[in-house]
Amino acid sequence: MMNLNHEIIELVKQEGCNIVGFADLRCLSKESRQNFDYGIVMALSFTKEAMIKNMNDMPQKYHEEIDIMSDNLKKLAVMTADFLVAKGYKAFAKITETVVSDKDWRSVLPHKTVATRAGIGWIGKSALLVTEQYGSMIRLSSILTDAPLEAAKPVNASQCGDCTICTKFCPAGAVSGKEWEPGLYRDEFFDPVKCHSTAQERARRGFGGKSTTCGKCIEVCPYTRRAWGGEIRK
């Protein structure tokens, strides 16, 4: 018989989930994890076409995929939470992040924090999750639960090293180049205000749209480039 982890993996993979990971969250404060001990993180990948369009400063395809992926991630999270509840456990689908401040766009427990605790990647210099398989060309959702999951070994160190490509190509100058480590406050290495204001302008110029997500740091990341076969930027 499959254990609970394998049942969840089978469930979400059938619905197109690219990555699923399991985290022991007890290293975090009870308040941030809402008294749940475990977390599940799920990821969907952007297409190669979206990355190519973004490379050419025509980010409409990238933004169209964001909307589709966000809807699909919500469905995956709710479906998985319902599955766990039916098994007799408590589960909370984080389908929308609790934003602490409209000025700094911080949430109490970001999906990417659950992802690092689930061992699927690290936080890049651009403040996005980076994975070996897909780089940062992914979007995330997460679930909190009391189900006794088999948790992976967490990632506690960046693999970015001396790479400064996202720092060099960030149109907002929002990426300082400082490496992430667990517990490091995001604003110590990344400026979200600069990022959001420049992303709005880039969307306006690129396709006349309104958005606060840019994606340039995703597109230029060497790990992302390897994932879709693009030439590494220098």
**Taking all residues of the chain, what is their mean pLDDT, rounded to a whole number?**
90
Percent with pLDDT over 90 in the chain: 70
Instruction: Determine the Cα–Cα distance for residues 82 and 40; give it in Å rounded to an integer.
Output: 13
Instruction: Determine the Cα–Cα distance for residues 207 and 106; give it in Å rounded to an integer.
Output: 27
Query: pTM of the prediction?
Result: 0.91
Domain boundaries, the chain: 4-228
CB 43 within 8 A of CB 139: yes
The answer, yes or no, to whether residue 195 has pLDDT greater than 70, is yes
- Of residues 79 and 209, more confidence is placed in 79
What is the mean predicted confidence (pLDDT) over 168-177? 94
**DSSP 8-state assignment for residue 187:** G
Quote the pLDDT of residue 104: 57
In what helix (H) or strand (E) does residue 92 lie, and over which residues does it extend?
strand 91-94
